[in-house]
Amino acid sequence: MILVWLMLILFVGGIGAWLTESRSPELPRVIALFAIGLDLALVILMLVAPGAIGLTPVDNGQGTWLVLFEAEWIPRFGISFIFGADGLSMLLIFLTVFLGMISLGAAWHEIKERSGFFYFNLLWTLAGVIGVFTSLDLFLFFFFWEVMLIPMYFIIAIWGHENKEYAAMKFFIFTQVTGLLMLLAILVLVFLNYQSSEVITFNYFELLGADLPEEVVMWVMLGFFIAFATKLPAVPFHNWLPDAHSQAPTAGSVILAGILLKTGAYGLIRFTVPLFPEASLTFAPIAMTLGVVSILYTAKVAYAQNDLKRLIAYTSVSHMGFVLLGVYAWNAQAVQGAVMTMLAHGFSAAALFMLAGGLQHRIHTRDLDKMGGFWGVAPKMSFMALFFTVAAVGMPGLGNFVGEFLVLLGSFQVSITATAFAALGLVVAAIYSLIVIQKAFHGENTNNYEFADLTFIEMACFALMMIGLLWMGLYPQSMLDLAEPTLRSLNVVFP
């Protein structure tokens, strides 16, 4: 029931923030802070001291679950409320709530108009994401998949920048169309399972190992894959992301890069491969090739960008290519590396977008050609930019290095060629990252920009993300141990 409470707190907090907008411009963000803070406290208790809140692990034969809640919803059609959280889910729920707090810090001084409705959309997006990470009924999963899209559309369309309507509509069309394709695949899966078992069910556990006709299973699997690869995103389904990131407000970019992209990776690990193991094995070489193409192609495109946020957006696609590569290598090192990359990328990408958004808010441009010499103007911001840039390109001792190293180690056992080309992406990443630092923070301040350095709230947010990346880099075993039982239950190949 605690998973339901996590979502209800955010849903109710969002409504409260919206309703109090007319009373005080500060009250909505205080309500949002309280709601996210309460959720964060509960999640930390679930991770650190589950017994203190009455949680005991449950083994249902499909893995060990910290929380497993089930109740009837529409029994006639085999639809139930099934929420569960295992080690993988808990890591991603923590990432969601933590970055929700970071996005709140990014919006604290930036969002001044219609703040109540903004925090309503922010909290409902977070609630939808938690629903995605915990739903174990496929109809319920699709419901939350849609819930998280609509408020994010409003965040971009209302509080975005110069081409916000275009970017919001593009985001919505890409994700909605592929989401409907996934819904069709879910319905076909349920119908085919009904033909063989004479039971109508959307229950994830009952659909595992469903007897599906060989001639259609690949098409059903592709319905799931395309939806998740679009959200990941992977080439050629990535086109919506640069526009959405460049036009979204800072908090929106933090949520998009840090959390929403991870729902696509989670869907591949939790649903696509376990539900369709043989079709996924057949499709794996194509998926790994798409991962490598994503790494190299978007790294090259990032190199040609002058818009700072678009550049970071393309680097985000490049780094998520490692996740796709790791998932379809489907061995212990590769999938554990994919999980670590998801977590580390959540921190580093969120930080970089928060820096880019904060810089745009101060100087009113994203054009790198108009920047330069900012180290002397804002040394704290410059240091943070250098740290998170170095983290993103895989500095040893930080979380991104652990994730990408494990992905390459695992994929090497499957395809040496794919691994070799993927490793080139790390070289290109170092080049464009150094160019960004040189253009924006070194050289001369030719436009004589003068602006305030990072505020206390911003420094606190960046410090927390620094600690997170250092923890992942220096003590990754704490997270690998938490995810390992889940991966074993999903039949990931362990030595």
> pLDDT tens-digit profile of 433-442?
888 888 888 8
Omega within 30 of 0 (cis) for the link into 233: yes
DSSP state of 137: B
Please say whether the beta carbons of 7 and 127 come within 8 A. yes
In this predicted structure, the answer to whether residue 360 has a pLDDT above a threshold of 90 is no
Q: Does any domain span residue 335?
A: yes
Q: What is the pLDDT of residue 446?
A: 78
Amino acid at 225: F
Q: What is the pLDDT of residue 17?
A: 92
Q: Does any domain span residue 236?
A: no
Please compute the mean of the pLDDT values over residues 75-93 and round it to a whole number.
Answer: 92
Q: What is the pLDDT of residue 413?
A: 92
Length of the chain (residues): 495
- CB-CB neighbours of 196 under 10 Å: 11
Q: Does any domain span residue 442?
A: yes
- CB-CB neighbours of 395 under 10 Å: 16
Least confident range of 94-98, 211-215, 245-249: 211-215
The residue that leads in pLDDT, 160 or 96, is: 96
In this predicted structure, the answer to whether residue 233 has a pLDDT above a threshold of 80 is yes
How much of the chain exceeds pLDDT 70, in percent? 100
pLDDT confidence tier of residue 186, bands split at 50, 70 and 90: very high
In this predicted structure, the answer to whether residue 275 has a pLDDT above a threshold of 90 is yes
DSSP state of 1: -
Q: What is the pLDDT of residue 410?
A: 94
| Cα separation values, 185 from 101, 221, 274, 324, Å | 35, 7, 15, 21
The structure tokens 């938490």 sit at 482
In this predicted structure, the answer to whether residue 225 has a pLDDT above a threshold of 80 is yes
Q: What is the pLDDT of residue 307?
A: 85
Q: What is the pLDDT of residue 336?
A: 95
How much of the chain exceeds pLDDT 90, in percent? 58
Q: Does any domain span residue 310?
A: yes
Dihedral-angle region of residue 406 (phi above 0 means left; psi in -120 to 50 means alpha; beta otherwise): alpha
In this predicted structure, the answer to whether residue 354 has a pLDDT above a threshold of 80 is yes
Between CA 147 and CA 124 the distance in angstroms is: 8
Q: Does any domain span residue 127?
A: no
Surface-to-core class of residue 364, CB atoms within 10 Å of its CB (0-12 exposed, 13-18 middle, 19+ buried): exposed
The token duo for 46 is: 């679930």
For the four alpha carbons of 362, 365, 367 and 371, in that order, the dihedral sign comes to negative
In this predicted structure, the answer to whether residue 364 has a pLDDT above a threshold of 80 is yes
Please say whether the beta carbons of 399 and 473 come within 8 A. yes
pLDDT in tens, 440-467: 888 787 777 788 888 899 999 999 999 9
Q: What is the pLDDT of residue 122?
A: 94
In this predicted structure, the answer to whether residue 495 has a pLDDT above a threshold of 70 is no
Query: Which residue segment(s) compose the domain that 340 sits in?
Result: 283-495
Q: Report CA 305 to chain centroid distance, whole Å.
A: 23
| Cα separation values, 36 from 217, 261, 346, Å | 41, 20, 17
pLDDT confidence tier of residue 474, bands split at 50, 70 and 90: very high
Please say whether the beta carbons of 159 and 252 come within 8 A. yes
Q: Does any domain span residue 467?
A: yes
pLDDT in tens, 13-54: 999 999 988 787 789 999 999 999 999 999 999 998 887 777
The residue that leads in pLDDT, 339 or 246, is: 339
Q: Does any domain span residue 199?
A: no
Q: Does any domain span residue 435?
A: yes
Please compute the mean of the pLDDT values over residues 332-352 and round it to a whole number.
Answer: 94
Q: How many helices (H) and strands (E) does the chain have?
A: 22, 4
Helix (H, G, I), strand (E, B) or coil at 146: helix
| Cα separation values, 196 from 205, 212, 412, Å | 16, 8, 39
Between CA 273 and CA 187 the distance in angstroms is: 18
Between CA 228 and CA 209 the distance in angstroms is: 21
The token duo for 462 is: 């960046």
Domain count, the chain: 1
Mean pLDDT of the chain: 90
